[in-house]
Chains A and B, each alone.
Chain A
Amino acid sequence: MPDINSLYSKKVMDHFRNPRNVGEIKNPDGVATVGNKVCGDVMRMFLKVAKKKNKEYISEIKFQTLGCGAAIATSSMATELIKGKTLDEAERITNKVVTEALGGLPEAKRHCSVLAEQAVLKAIKNYKKGGEKN
Protein backbone atom coordinates (compact mmCIF):
# COMPACT_ATOMS: atom_id res chain seq x y z
CA MET A 1 0.00 0.00 0.00
CA PRO A 2 1.62 3.31 -1.00
CA ASP A 3 1.86 5.95 1.70
CA ILE A 4 -0.38 8.97 1.33
CA ASN A 5 2.29 11.34 2.45
CA SER A 6 1.75 13.81 -0.34
CA LEU A 7 -0.84 15.38 1.94
CA TYR A 8 0.87 15.00 5.31
CA SER A 9 4.53 14.57 6.24
CA LYS A 10 5.72 11.24 7.64
CA LYS A 11 5.93 12.81 11.09
CA VAL A 12 2.35 14.07 10.96
CA MET A 13 1.13 10.65 9.91
CA ASP A 14 3.18 9.01 12.67
CA HIS A 15 1.67 11.27 15.33
CA PHE A 16 -1.79 10.77 13.83
CA ARG A 17 -1.47 6.98 13.72
CA ASN A 18 0.24 6.68 17.09
CA PRO A 19 -0.72 9.76 19.07
CA ARG A 20 1.38 10.31 22.22
CA ASN A 21 -0.12 11.15 25.61
CA VAL A 22 -3.73 10.43 24.71
CA GLY A 23 -6.27 10.19 27.49
CA GLU A 24 -7.37 11.87 30.68
CA ILE A 25 -5.65 12.73 33.94
CA LYS A 26 -7.73 12.18 37.05
CA ASN A 27 -7.64 15.22 39.33
CA PRO A 28 -5.57 17.37 36.96
CA ASP A 29 -3.98 20.61 38.15
CA GLY A 30 -5.09 22.34 34.99
CA VAL A 31 -7.48 21.46 32.21
CA ALA A 32 -8.80 23.35 29.20
CA THR A 33 -11.11 22.65 26.30
CA VAL A 34 -10.75 24.74 23.15
CA GLY A 35 -12.37 24.79 19.72
CA ASN A 36 -15.94 23.81 19.05
CA LYS A 37 -17.88 21.13 17.26
CA VAL A 38 -19.25 23.55 14.69
CA CYS A 39 -15.73 24.15 13.38
CA GLY A 40 -15.06 20.44 13.57
CA ASP A 41 -12.15 20.45 16.03
CA VAL A 42 -12.33 20.20 19.82
CA MET A 43 -9.22 19.72 21.94
CA ARG A 44 -8.89 19.09 25.67
CA MET A 45 -5.60 19.26 27.55
CA PHE A 46 -4.97 17.91 31.07
CA LEU A 47 -1.92 18.99 33.11
CA LYS A 48 -0.19 17.90 36.26
CA VAL A 49 2.24 20.41 37.70
CA ALA A 50 5.11 19.55 40.05
CA LYS A 51 8.03 21.46 41.54
CA LYS A 52 11.69 20.90 40.86
CA LYS A 53 14.38 23.22 42.22
CA ASN A 54 11.69 25.72 43.11
CA LYS A 55 10.42 25.82 39.56
CA GLU A 56 7.04 24.59 38.51
CA TYR A 57 7.08 22.22 35.60
CA ILE A 58 4.64 20.07 33.67
CA SER A 59 5.09 16.60 35.08
CA GLU A 60 2.26 15.00 33.20
CA ILE A 61 0.18 15.97 30.19
CA LYS A 62 -2.60 14.24 28.31
CA PHE A 63 -4.96 15.27 25.52
CA GLN A 64 -8.18 14.30 23.84
CA THR A 65 -9.03 15.62 20.37
CA LEU A 66 -12.01 15.41 18.07
CA GLY A 67 -10.75 16.50 14.70
CA CYS A 68 -8.86 15.83 11.51
CA GLY A 69 -5.44 14.27 11.06
CA ALA A 70 -3.67 17.61 11.50
CA ALA A 71 -5.58 18.42 14.69
CA ILE A 72 -4.72 15.06 16.26
CA ALA A 73 -1.07 15.20 15.18
CA THR A 74 -0.55 18.75 16.46
CA SER A 75 -2.16 17.85 19.80
CA SER A 76 0.17 14.89 20.13
CA MET A 77 3.28 16.86 19.16
CA ALA A 78 2.38 19.74 21.48
CA THR A 79 2.17 17.39 24.44
CA GLU A 80 5.55 15.87 23.57
CA LEU A 81 7.15 19.28 23.26
CA ILE A 82 6.02 20.60 26.62
CA LYS A 83 6.12 17.50 28.79
CA GLY A 84 8.78 18.07 31.46
CA LYS A 85 9.14 21.76 30.57
CA THR A 86 8.81 24.53 33.15
CA LEU A 87 5.63 26.58 32.95
CA ASP A 88 7.60 29.54 31.57
CA GLU A 89 9.02 27.37 28.83
CA ALA A 90 5.69 25.76 28.09
CA GLU A 91 4.00 29.12 27.78
CA ARG A 92 6.34 30.01 24.95
CA ILE A 93 4.90 27.27 22.76
CA THR A 94 3.48 28.54 19.47
CA ASN A 95 1.65 26.80 16.66
CA LYS A 96 4.67 27.59 14.48
CA VAL A 97 6.94 25.59 16.77
CA VAL A 98 4.51 22.66 16.81
CA THR A 99 4.06 22.75 13.04
CA GLU A 100 7.81 22.90 12.43
CA ALA A 101 8.39 19.99 14.78
CA LEU A 102 5.95 18.02 12.62
CA GLY A 103 7.87 18.83 9.46
CA GLY A 104 5.23 21.30 8.30
CA LEU A 105 1.55 21.14 7.46
CA PRO A 106 -0.26 21.74 4.16
CA GLU A 107 -1.38 25.37 3.82
CA ALA A 108 -5.08 24.48 4.11
CA LYS A 109 -4.39 22.72 7.42
CA ARG A 110 -2.51 25.52 9.18
CA HIS A 111 -5.57 26.61 11.12
CA CYS A 112 -5.81 23.14 12.68
CA SER A 113 -2.50 23.73 14.48
CA VAL A 114 -3.75 26.82 16.30
CA LEU A 115 -5.87 24.82 18.72
CA ALA A 116 -2.93 22.94 20.25
CA GLU A 117 -1.24 26.20 21.24
CA GLN A 118 -4.50 27.59 22.59
CA ALA A 119 -5.19 24.45 24.60
CA VAL A 120 -1.78 24.41 26.28
CA LEU A 121 -1.87 28.11 27.14
CA LYS A 122 -5.41 27.93 28.47
CA ALA A 123 -4.69 24.85 30.60
CA ILE A 124 -1.68 26.62 32.19
CA LYS A 125 -3.76 29.75 32.72
CA ASN A 126 -6.47 27.72 34.39
CA TYR A 127 -3.89 26.08 36.61
CA LYS A 128 -2.54 29.48 37.66
CA LYS A 129 -6.08 30.62 38.42
CA GLY A 130 -6.17 27.80 40.93
CA GLY A 131 -6.95 24.63 39.12
CA GLU A 132 -10.08 25.96 37.52
CA LYS A 133 -11.44 23.48 35.09
CA ASN A 134 -12.33 24.00 31.46
Chain B
Amino acid sequence: MKNNFSVYLDNAATTCVDKEVFKKMKPFFSEKYANPSGPYWHSQVARGVIDKAREQVSKALNASSGKIVFTSCATESINLSHKGLIEALSKKGDQKPHIVVSSIEHSAVLETCRHLEKLCLVEVSYLPVDKTGLVLISDLEKNIRPNTALVSIMYVNNEVGTIEPISEIGKFLKKINKKRELEKKQKIFFHTDATQAIQYLNIDVNFLGVDFLSFTGHKFYAPKGIGALFVKKDTPLSSQIRGGSQEYGLRAGTENVAFIVGLAEAITLVCSQKKSQAERIKKLSQKFIKEALKIKGLNLTGDKIKRVPHIASFLVDGAEGEAMILLLSDAGISASSGSACTSGSLKPSHVLLAMGVPQEKAHGSLRFSLGKDTTEEQINYTLKVLPEIISKVRALAPKGI
Protein backbone atom coordinates (compact mmCIF):
# COMPACT_ATOMS: atom_id res chain seq x y z
CA MET B 1 0.00 0.00 0.00
CA LYS B 2 2.97 2.33 0.41
CA ASN B 3 3.59 4.86 -2.31
CA ASN B 4 4.90 8.35 -2.82
CA PHE B 5 1.62 10.19 -3.11
CA SER B 6 0.96 12.84 -0.51
CA VAL B 7 -2.62 14.04 -0.37
CA TYR B 8 -3.62 16.26 2.54
CA LEU B 9 -7.39 16.33 2.88
CA ASP B 10 -7.75 17.51 6.46
CA ASN B 11 -7.80 21.27 5.92
CA ALA B 12 -10.74 21.62 8.33
CA ALA B 13 -8.36 20.39 11.05
CA THR B 14 -5.59 22.78 10.09
CA THR B 15 -4.00 24.33 7.03
CA CYS B 16 -0.44 25.14 6.07
CA VAL B 17 0.85 28.65 6.69
CA ASP B 18 0.77 30.52 3.40
CA LYS B 19 4.30 31.33 2.22
CA GLU B 20 3.51 35.02 1.67
CA VAL B 21 1.90 35.22 5.10
CA PHE B 22 4.98 33.63 6.66
CA LYS B 23 7.24 36.09 4.84
CA LYS B 24 5.34 39.02 6.32
CA MET B 25 5.62 37.54 9.83
CA LYS B 26 9.37 36.96 9.71
CA PRO B 27 10.67 40.47 10.55
CA PHE B 28 8.80 40.38 13.87
CA PHE B 29 10.86 37.60 15.40
CA SER B 30 14.45 38.87 15.38
CA GLU B 31 14.38 42.32 13.81
CA LYS B 32 11.29 44.18 15.02
CA TYR B 33 10.82 42.37 18.28
CA ALA B 34 10.05 45.14 20.78
CA ASN B 35 7.28 44.90 23.34
CA PRO B 36 4.41 46.99 21.91
CA SER B 37 3.74 48.52 25.34
CA GLY B 38 6.97 50.58 25.56
CA PRO B 39 7.14 54.35 25.03
CA TYR B 40 10.26 54.31 22.80
CA TRP B 41 10.36 54.12 19.05
CA HIS B 42 11.09 50.37 18.84
CA SER B 43 7.86 49.72 20.66
CA GLN B 44 5.94 52.22 18.63
CA VAL B 45 6.84 50.26 15.50
CA ALA B 46 5.34 47.13 17.03
CA ARG B 47 2.32 49.06 18.28
CA GLY B 48 1.75 50.44 14.80
CA VAL B 49 1.92 46.97 13.33
CA ILE B 50 -0.71 45.65 15.74
CA ASP B 51 -2.97 48.63 15.05
CA LYS B 52 -2.68 47.98 11.33
CA ALA B 53 -3.37 44.28 11.79
CA ARG B 54 -6.43 45.00 13.90
CA GLU B 55 -7.62 47.35 11.19
CA GLN B 56 -7.17 44.60 8.56
CA VAL B 57 -9.16 42.06 10.59
CA SER B 58 -11.80 44.64 11.37
CA LYS B 59 -12.13 45.45 7.67
CA ALA B 60 -12.49 41.76 6.76
CA LEU B 61 -15.38 41.47 9.23
CA ASN B 62 -16.80 44.95 8.49
CA ALA B 63 -16.50 45.37 12.22
CA SER B 64 -16.38 49.12 12.81
CA SER B 65 -19.38 48.55 15.10
CA GLY B 66 -17.12 46.90 17.66
CA LYS B 67 -13.63 45.80 18.49
CA ILE B 68 -11.30 42.96 17.59
CA VAL B 69 -9.55 41.23 20.48
CA PHE B 70 -6.59 39.04 19.57
CA THR B 71 -6.41 35.73 21.41
CA SER B 72 -4.46 32.49 21.04
CA CYS B 73 -7.18 30.47 19.28
CA ALA B 74 -10.92 30.11 18.72
CA THR B 75 -11.25 28.08 21.93
CA GLU B 76 -9.82 30.97 23.94
CA SER B 77 -12.06 33.45 22.11
CA ILE B 78 -15.10 31.33 23.03
CA ASN B 79 -14.00 31.01 26.65
CA LEU B 80 -13.61 34.79 26.76
CA SER B 81 -16.99 35.59 25.20
CA HIS B 82 -19.06 33.03 27.10
CA LYS B 83 -17.44 33.22 30.52
CA GLY B 84 -16.74 36.93 30.15
CA LEU B 85 -20.31 37.81 29.27
CA ILE B 86 -21.83 35.69 32.03
CA GLU B 87 -19.41 37.11 34.60
CA ALA B 88 -20.17 40.67 33.50
CA LEU B 89 -23.94 40.05 33.57
CA SER B 90 -23.94 38.31 36.92
CA LYS B 91 -22.48 41.44 38.45
CA LYS B 92 -25.83 43.02 37.77
CA GLY B 93 -27.37 40.59 40.20
CA ASP B 94 -30.29 39.66 37.98
CA GLN B 95 -31.65 36.15 37.83
CA LYS B 96 -29.41 33.33 36.60
CA PRO B 97 -28.74 33.86 32.88
CA HIS B 98 -29.85 31.28 30.34
CA ILE B 99 -27.71 30.22 27.38
CA VAL B 100 -28.99 28.52 24.22
CA VAL B 101 -26.50 26.55 22.13
CA SER B 102 -26.93 24.01 19.36
CA SER B 103 -26.14 20.42 20.24
CA ILE B 104 -23.60 20.23 17.40
CA GLU B 105 -21.30 23.01 18.61
CA HIS B 106 -17.57 22.45 18.90
CA SER B 107 -16.46 21.16 22.30
CA ALA B 108 -15.02 24.62 23.02
CA VAL B 109 -18.58 25.93 23.25
CA LEU B 110 -20.17 22.83 24.78
CA GLU B 111 -17.55 22.34 27.48
CA THR B 112 -17.47 26.04 28.39
CA CYS B 113 -21.26 26.01 28.78
CA ARG B 114 -21.18 22.78 30.79
CA HIS B 115 -18.55 24.32 33.04
CA LEU B 116 -20.69 27.42 33.67
CA GLU B 117 -23.66 25.12 34.27
CA LYS B 118 -21.69 23.09 36.81
CA LEU B 119 -20.72 26.24 38.63
CA CYS B 120 -24.47 27.01 38.84
CA LEU B 121 -23.87 30.30 37.04
CA VAL B 122 -26.19 29.60 34.09
CA GLU B 123 -28.96 27.45 32.74
CA VAL B 124 -28.21 25.92 29.34
CA SER B 125 -30.52 24.62 26.61
CA TYR B 126 -29.10 22.44 23.86
CA LEU B 127 -30.99 22.86 20.60
CA PRO B 128 -31.70 19.82 18.45
CA VAL B 129 -30.79 19.85 14.75
CA ASP B 130 -32.49 18.22 11.78
CA LYS B 131 -30.99 15.26 9.97
CA THR B 132 -28.77 17.49 7.84
CA GLY B 133 -27.43 19.28 10.89
CA LEU B 134 -29.49 22.45 10.53
CA VAL B 135 -30.71 24.45 13.51
CA LEU B 136 -34.35 25.43 13.06
CA ILE B 137 -35.38 28.91 14.13
CA SER B 138 -38.67 27.47 15.38
CA ASP B 139 -36.67 25.33 17.85
CA LEU B 140 -34.70 28.37 18.93
CA GLU B 141 -37.92 30.32 19.43
CA LYS B 142 -39.31 27.58 21.67
CA ASN B 143 -36.21 27.71 23.82
CA ILE B 144 -36.03 31.44 24.44
CA ARG B 145 -36.79 32.24 28.08
CA PRO B 146 -37.21 35.59 29.84
CA ASN B 147 -33.71 35.12 31.29
CA THR B 148 -32.05 34.09 28.00
CA ALA B 149 -28.88 36.16 27.75
CA LEU B 150 -26.79 34.38 25.13
CA VAL B 151 -27.44 32.38 21.98
CA SER B 152 -24.39 30.62 20.56
CA ILE B 153 -24.68 28.89 17.20
CA MET B 154 -21.76 27.92 14.98
CA TYR B 155 -21.66 29.37 11.45
CA VAL B 156 -20.48 26.11 9.88
CA ASN B 157 -20.38 22.70 11.46
CA ASN B 158 -16.81 21.44 11.29
CA GLU B 159 -17.69 17.75 10.91
CA VAL B 160 -20.38 17.82 8.23
CA GLY B 161 -19.97 21.27 6.67
CA THR B 162 -23.58 22.38 7.11
CA ILE B 163 -24.02 26.18 7.06
CA GLU B 164 -26.30 27.42 9.84
CA PRO B 165 -28.75 30.28 9.19
CA ILE B 166 -26.77 32.83 11.20
CA SER B 167 -28.09 36.01 9.60
CA GLU B 168 -31.68 34.73 9.94
CA ILE B 169 -31.07 33.98 13.61
CA GLY B 170 -29.50 37.43 13.94
CA LYS B 171 -32.65 39.02 12.50
CA PHE B 172 -34.88 36.92 14.71
CA LEU B 173 -32.97 37.93 17.85
CA LYS B 174 -32.96 41.56 16.78
CA LYS B 175 -36.76 41.53 16.78
CA ILE B 176 -36.87 40.08 20.29
CA ASN B 177 -34.25 42.54 21.46
CA LYS B 178 -36.24 45.50 20.13
CA LYS B 179 -39.14 44.42 22.28
CA ARG B 180 -36.88 43.85 25.24
CA GLU B 181 -35.37 47.28 24.82
CA LEU B 182 -38.79 48.89 25.07
CA GLU B 183 -39.51 46.81 28.15
CA LYS B 184 -36.08 47.73 29.56
CA LYS B 185 -35.17 44.06 29.77
CA GLN B 186 -31.86 42.25 29.34
CA LYS B 187 -30.81 41.94 25.71
CA ILE B 188 -30.03 38.53 24.21
CA PHE B 189 -26.45 38.50 22.97
CA PHE B 190 -25.60 36.43 19.90
CA HIS B 191 -22.34 34.59 19.39
CA THR B 192 -21.21 32.63 16.36
CA ASP B 193 -18.17 30.41 16.06
CA ALA B 194 -17.08 31.26 12.51
CA THR B 195 -13.97 29.09 12.50
CA GLN B 196 -14.86 27.12 9.36
CA ALA B 197 -16.52 30.05 7.58
CA ILE B 198 -13.85 32.74 7.32
CA GLN B 199 -12.35 31.88 3.95
CA TYR B 200 -15.51 31.00 2.03
CA LEU B 201 -18.58 32.75 3.44
CA ASN B 202 -19.88 36.25 4.13
CA ILE B 203 -18.37 37.23 7.48
CA ASP B 204 -19.76 40.77 7.68
CA VAL B 205 -20.78 41.04 11.33
CA ASN B 206 -23.58 43.48 10.49
CA PHE B 207 -25.01 41.12 7.89
CA LEU B 208 -24.82 38.29 10.42
CA GLY B 209 -26.25 40.39 13.26
CA VAL B 210 -23.85 39.02 15.86
CA ASP B 211 -22.47 40.52 19.07
CA PHE B 212 -19.57 38.06 19.20
CA LEU B 213 -17.76 36.25 16.43
CA SER B 214 -14.84 33.94 17.17
CA PHE B 215 -12.29 32.27 14.94
CA THR B 216 -8.77 30.93 14.75
CA GLY B 217 -6.12 31.62 12.15
CA HIS B 218 -4.83 28.15 11.39
CA LYS B 219 -7.90 27.14 9.38
CA PHE B 220 -7.06 29.74 6.74
CA TYR B 221 -3.28 29.76 6.29
CA ALA B 222 -2.24 31.72 9.38
CA PRO B 223 -0.17 29.87 12.00
CA LYS B 224 -1.60 27.87 14.90
CA GLY B 225 -1.72 29.82 18.15
CA ILE B 226 -3.50 32.97 17.04
CA GLY B 227 -7.21 33.74 17.01
CA ALA B 228 -9.56 36.63 17.53
CA LEU B 229 -12.90 37.63 18.98
CA PHE B 230 -15.15 40.35 17.59
CA VAL B 231 -17.01 42.11 20.37
CA LYS B 232 -19.78 44.52 19.46
CA LYS B 233 -19.81 47.95 21.08
CA ASP B 234 -21.56 48.12 24.48
CA THR B 235 -21.36 44.37 25.04
CA PRO B 236 -20.61 43.62 28.68
CA LEU B 237 -17.47 41.50 28.92
CA SER B 238 -15.16 40.60 31.75
CA SER B 239 -11.53 39.64 31.04
CA GLN B 240 -10.68 35.98 31.61
CA ILE B 241 -6.90 36.36 31.45
CA ARG B 242 -5.86 38.98 33.92
CA GLY B 243 -2.73 41.05 34.10
CA GLY B 244 -1.71 44.01 31.98
CA SER B 245 -4.02 46.27 30.02
CA GLN B 246 -3.39 44.76 26.58
CA GLU B 247 -6.27 44.18 24.15
CA TYR B 248 -8.59 46.78 25.71
CA GLY B 249 -7.98 45.17 29.09
CA LEU B 250 -9.83 42.08 27.86
CA ARG B 251 -6.85 39.79 27.30
CA ALA B 252 -3.73 40.46 29.31
CA GLY B 253 -0.30 39.32 28.18
CA THR B 254 2.30 40.70 25.81
CA GLU B 255 0.92 40.67 22.29
CA ASN B 256 2.16 37.99 19.91
CA VAL B 257 3.13 40.53 17.26
CA ALA B 258 4.39 38.16 14.56
CA PHE B 259 1.33 35.91 14.80
CA ILE B 260 -1.06 38.87 14.88
CA VAL B 261 0.55 40.01 11.63
CA GLY B 262 0.12 36.46 10.28
CA LEU B 263 -3.56 36.41 11.19
CA ALA B 264 -4.21 39.80 9.60
CA GLU B 265 -2.31 38.97 6.42
CA ALA B 266 -4.04 35.59 6.09
CA ILE B 267 -7.55 36.96 6.56
CA THR B 268 -6.80 39.73 4.06
CA LEU B 269 -5.48 37.17 1.60
CA VAL B 270 -8.40 34.73 1.84
CA CYS B 271 -10.97 37.51 1.75
CA SER B 272 -9.42 38.93 -1.42
CA GLN B 273 -9.74 35.51 -3.12
CA LYS B 274 -12.95 34.39 -1.46
CA LYS B 275 -15.14 34.08 -4.52
CA SER B 276 -12.59 32.49 -6.84
CA GLN B 277 -11.31 30.02 -4.23
CA ALA B 278 -14.82 29.07 -3.15
CA GLU B 279 -15.74 28.35 -6.77
CA ARG B 280 -12.61 26.35 -7.47
CA ILE B 281 -12.86 24.27 -4.30
CA LYS B 282 -16.59 23.75 -4.72
CA LYS B 283 -16.01 22.35 -8.19
CA LEU B 284 -13.48 19.88 -6.82
CA SER B 285 -15.54 18.85 -3.80
CA GLN B 286 -18.70 18.45 -5.88
CA LYS B 287 -16.87 16.16 -8.25
CA PHE B 288 -15.48 14.26 -5.28
CA ILE B 289 -18.89 13.92 -3.63
CA LYS B 290 -20.62 12.92 -6.87
CA GLU B 291 -18.10 10.20 -7.67
CA ALA B 292 -17.75 8.95 -4.09
CA LEU B 293 -21.52 8.54 -3.81
CA LYS B 294 -21.28 5.89 -6.53
CA ILE B 295 -19.70 3.61 -3.92
CA LYS B 296 -22.36 1.29 -2.56
CA GLY B 297 -23.39 1.97 1.04
CA LEU B 298 -21.74 5.38 1.15
CA ASN B 299 -23.89 8.39 2.02
CA LEU B 300 -23.29 12.11 2.31
CA THR B 301 -23.64 13.69 5.76
CA GLY B 302 -24.77 17.27 6.23
CA ASP B 303 -26.91 19.42 4.00
CA LYS B 304 -26.64 18.80 0.26
CA ILE B 305 -26.88 22.49 -0.65
CA LYS B 306 -26.26 24.52 2.48
CA ARG B 307 -22.70 23.31 2.90
CA VAL B 308 -19.26 24.89 2.75
CA PRO B 309 -17.20 24.17 -0.36
CA HIS B 310 -14.29 22.55 1.45
CA ILE B 311 -15.93 19.79 3.49
CA ALA B 312 -17.01 16.44 2.00
CA SER B 313 -18.29 14.13 4.72
CA PHE B 314 -19.72 10.65 4.50
CA LEU B 315 -21.01 7.62 6.33
CA VAL B 316 -19.76 4.27 5.10
CA ASP B 317 -21.85 1.21 5.90
CA GLY B 318 -20.07 -1.83 7.28
CA ALA B 319 -16.65 -0.24 7.77
CA GLU B 320 -15.14 1.42 10.82
CA GLY B 321 -13.77 4.94 10.44
CA GLU B 322 -10.34 4.55 11.99
CA ALA B 323 -9.58 1.43 9.97
CA MET B 324 -10.37 3.35 6.77
CA ILE B 325 -8.32 6.36 7.91
CA LEU B 326 -5.28 4.15 8.61
CA LEU B 327 -5.48 2.51 5.19
CA LEU B 328 -6.00 5.87 3.48
CA SER B 329 -2.93 7.06 5.34
CA ASP B 330 -0.98 4.08 4.01
CA ALA B 331 -2.00 5.27 0.56
CA GLY B 332 -0.64 8.74 1.38
CA ILE B 333 -4.03 10.35 2.05
CA SER B 334 -4.75 12.21 5.30
CA ALA B 335 -8.41 12.55 6.20
CA SER B 336 -10.43 12.28 9.41
CA SER B 337 -13.29 10.39 11.01
CA GLY B 338 -15.72 10.96 13.85
CA SER B 339 -15.68 7.32 14.94
CA ALA B 340 -15.28 6.55 18.63
CA CYS B 341 -11.84 5.15 17.98
CA THR B 342 -10.59 8.40 16.48
CA SER B 343 -12.18 10.62 19.09
CA GLY B 344 -10.41 8.97 22.00
CA SER B 345 -13.74 8.31 23.68
CA LEU B 346 -16.11 5.37 23.56
CA LYS B 347 -18.80 7.32 21.74
CA PRO B 348 -18.77 8.39 18.11
CA SER B 349 -19.27 11.99 17.03
CA HIS B 350 -21.83 13.97 19.07
CA VAL B 351 -22.63 15.85 15.85
CA LEU B 352 -23.73 12.74 13.94
CA LEU B 353 -25.66 11.43 16.93
CA ALA B 354 -27.48 14.79 17.26
CA MET B 355 -28.36 14.53 13.55
CA GLY B 356 -30.10 11.26 14.33
CA VAL B 357 -27.46 8.97 12.87
CA PRO B 358 -27.64 5.64 14.76
CA GLN B 359 -24.53 4.97 16.82
CA GLU B 360 -23.64 1.84 14.84
CA LYS B 361 -23.57 3.87 11.63
CA ALA B 362 -21.72 6.84 13.12
CA HIS B 363 -18.60 4.67 13.56
CA GLY B 364 -18.26 4.62 9.79
CA SER B 365 -17.84 8.37 9.28
CA LEU B 366 -15.24 9.95 7.03
CA ARG B 367 -14.41 13.61 6.43
CA PHE B 368 -12.30 14.94 3.59
CA SER B 369 -11.59 18.67 3.72
CA LEU B 370 -10.02 20.49 0.81
CA GLY B 371 -7.75 23.52 0.74
CA LYS B 372 -6.03 25.95 -1.59
CA ASP B 373 -3.36 23.41 -2.54
CA THR B 374 -5.79 20.57 -3.31
CA THR B 375 -5.56 19.56 -6.97
CA GLU B 376 -7.85 17.67 -9.30
CA GLU B 377 -5.16 15.02 -9.61
CA GLN B 378 -5.27 14.46 -5.84
CA ILE B 379 -9.06 14.17 -5.92
CA ASN B 380 -8.88 11.67 -8.79
CA TYR B 381 -6.28 9.62 -6.94
CA THR B 382 -8.36 9.60 -3.75
CA LEU B 383 -11.42 8.53 -5.73
CA LYS B 384 -9.43 5.66 -7.18
CA VAL B 385 -8.12 4.48 -3.81
CA LEU B 386 -11.23 4.97 -1.67
CA PRO B 387 -13.40 2.14 -3.08
CA GLU B 388 -10.52 -0.34 -2.75
CA ILE B 389 -9.99 0.62 0.88
CA ILE B 390 -13.67 0.39 1.75
CA SER B 391 -13.84 -3.06 0.11
CA LYS B 392 -10.77 -4.18 2.02
CA VAL B 393 -12.18 -3.09 5.38
CA ARG B 394 -15.60 -4.56 4.62
CA ALA B 395 -14.05 -7.88 3.60
CA LEU B 396 -12.64 -8.28 7.10
CA ALA B 397 -16.02 -7.90 8.80
CA PRO B 398 -18.27 -10.75 9.92
CA LYS B 399 -21.09 -11.43 7.50
CA GLY B 400 -24.74 -10.88 8.32
CA ILE B 401 -24.34 -8.80 11.46
Binding site for B on A (CB under 8 A): 1, 4, 13, 16-17, 19, 22, 24, 33, 36-44, 64-72, 108-109, 111-112
Contact = CB atoms under 8 A, between A and B. Distances in A.
A69 B323 contact: yes
A108 B318 contact: no
Interface of B: 1-4, 6, 318-323, 326-327, 329-330, 332, 339-342, 344-346, 348, 358-360, 363, 395-399, 401
A66 B339 contact: no
Contacts of A40: 320, 339-341, 348, 359-360, 363
A71 B339 CA distance: 13
Contacts of B358: 38
A112 B358 CA distance: 20
Contact of B323 (A1, A39, A64, A67): A67
A83 B343 CA distance: 34
Contact of A16 (B2, B3, B326): B326
B2 A1 contact: yes
B332 A108 contact: no
B322 A68 contact: yes
Contacts of A43: 398
Nearest to A31: B398
Given A66-B401, A72-B323, A111-B346, A37 B360 contact: yes
A112 to B, nearest CB: 7
A4 B341 contact: no
B315 to A, nearest CB: 13
A17 B393 CA distance: 10
Contacts of B346: 39, 111
28 contacts: A1-B3, A1-B332, A4-B326, A4-B329, A17-B330, A19-B396, A22-B395, A22-B396, A24-B399, A33-B398, A38-B359, A39-B340, A40-B341, A42-B397, A42-B401, A44-B398, A44-B401, A64-B399, A66-B319, A66-B397, A66-B398, A67-B320, A67-B323, A67-B341, A68-B320, A68-B323, A69-B341, A70-B341
Kindly name the residue among B6, B322, B401 whose own CB sees the greatest number of chain A CB atoms within 10 A: B322
A68 B276 CA distance: 39
A69 B401 contact: no
Contacts of B341: 40, 67-71, 109, 112
Contacts of A22: 395-396
A4 B396 CA distance: 22
Contacts of A111: 346
A119 to B, nearest CB: 10
A86 B258 CA distance: 67
A66 B359 contact: no
Given A1-B3, A40-B320, A40-B348, A72 B396 contact: yes
Given A17-B330, A40-B363, A65 B1 contact: no
Contacts of A13: 326
Given A4-B329, A65-B396, A33 B401 contact: yes
Contact of A1 (B4, B321, B327, B359): B4
A37 B398 CA distance: 11
B302 to A, nearest CB: 21
Nearest to B2: A1
A42 B360 CA distance: 11
Given A40-B339, A40-B363, A17 B1 contact: yes
A70 B401 CA distance: 20
Nearest to B394: A66
A111 B327 CA distance: 21
Contacts of B327: 17
A22 B393 CA distance: 12
Contacts of B397: 42, 64-66
A83 B14 CA distance: 45
B396 A64 contact: yes
B305 to A, nearest CB: 31
B329 A66 contact: no
Nearest to B322: A68
Nearest to B332: A1
A37 B401 contact: yes
A42 B323 CA distance: 13
B329 to A, nearest CB: 6
A36 B348 CA distance: 14
Which residue, A36, A43, A72, has most C-beta atoms of chain B within 10 A? Answer: A72
Contacts of B396: 19, 22, 64-66, 72
A24 to B, nearest CB: 8
Contacts of B326: 4, 13, 16, 69
Contact of B318 (A16, A39, A66, A112): A66
Of B2, B319, B360, which is in contact with the most chain A CB atoms at under 10 Å from its CB? B360
A64 B342 CA distance: 21
